């Protein structure tokens, strides 16, 4: 059984079964993306608390040793692309106080 043109254009699937599978998987991805965004926002808030405490005690806004630990953790877990992901996340979390 083949799909209609609108379904094919939307999912790239060639059958109704594949289109349904893709639609369900995309809904799951969208849900995961929402959770990931929420976790990053939570991390940004926690990072701001840490930065504020560090600065108010006379320290620097950024702890480069800690950032290297985070980069290594992401690289070890996700490979080279994990480093880029961690860099983006760290950039989002810097200087938000």
For the chain, the straight-line distance linking the first and the last C-alpha, in angstroms and rounded, comes to: 57
Would you give per-residue pLDDT tens digits along the chain (97 residues)?
455 666 667 899 999 999 999 999 999 999 999 999 999 999 999 999 999 999 999 999 899 999 999 999 999 999 999 999 999 999 999 965 4
Q: How far apart are CA 93 and CA 75, in angstroms?
A: 18
Q: How far apart are CA 78 and CA 89, in angstroms?
A: 14
CA 86 vs CA 7, 64, 78: distances in Å: 36, 13, 10
């Amino acid at each position: 059984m083949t799909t209609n043109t609108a379904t094919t254009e939307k999912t790239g699937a060639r059958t109704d079964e594949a289109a349904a599978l893709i639609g369900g998987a995309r809904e799951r991805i969208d849900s995961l993306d929402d959770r990931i965004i929420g976790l990053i926002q939570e991390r940004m808030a926690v990072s701001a608390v840490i930065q504020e405490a560090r600065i108010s005690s006379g320290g620097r806004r950024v702890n480069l040793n800690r950032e290297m630990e985070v980069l290594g953790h992401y690289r070890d877990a996700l490979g080279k692309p994990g480093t880029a992901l961690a860099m983006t996340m760290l950039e989002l979390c810097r200087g938000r106080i």
